[in-house]
Amino acid sequence: MTHPADSAVKKKFDLPFYCAAAAFGILAGWVDVKQGDLLFTALLVLAPCMVLGALRPERPWRWVVTLGVCLPLVELLAYVFLAQKPYRAQIYESFLAFLPGIAGAYGGSLGRGVLNNLGFAKP
């Protein structure tokens, strides 16, 4: 049985990972606004979600949500504040970034579980 203080300490140590996920989401959104390349944006979502899923394998969906929400927000901010307006399709495409994020986060979590079972990483 875990002590409530243990979960509070673990949540405290997860804060840098949430900040990193948000920063990578903002970066991916900025690249999507500037380049308009959905495949490159998907790669910029997939890789950080995979790393975060491997580093913090419990509840990998939180990395998808944290990173994925930033893309539409950056698109909205670009629409409001920048002279370069994203296309309507580009705004809808930003919601598709959740799909590679799901694959990356759960793939990283699964990979970490495999390494734990083989004895290469600490659980």
Give the pLDDT confidence score for residue 69 in this predicted structure.
93
Chain-centroid distance, C-alpha 83: 27
Retrieve residue 33's tokens.
């606004």
Give the pLDDT confidence score for residue 110 in this predicted structure.
95
Give the pLDDT confidence score for residue 57 in this predicted structure.
92
Q: How far is CA 79 from CA 39, 94, 121, in A?
A: 21, 13, 44
Q: Are 48 and 31 in contact (CB under 8 A)?
A: no
Residues 6+ apart with CB under 8 A from 44: 24, 27, 28, 31
Domain spans, the chain: 7-118
Give the pLDDT confidence score for residue 19 in this predicted structure.
94
Condensed to tens digits (0 to 9), the pLDDT of residues 73-112 reads 998 888 888 877 777 777 788 888 899 999 999 999 999 9
pLDDT confidence band for 2 (50 / 70 / 90)? low
Whether pTM > 0.85 for this model: the answer is no
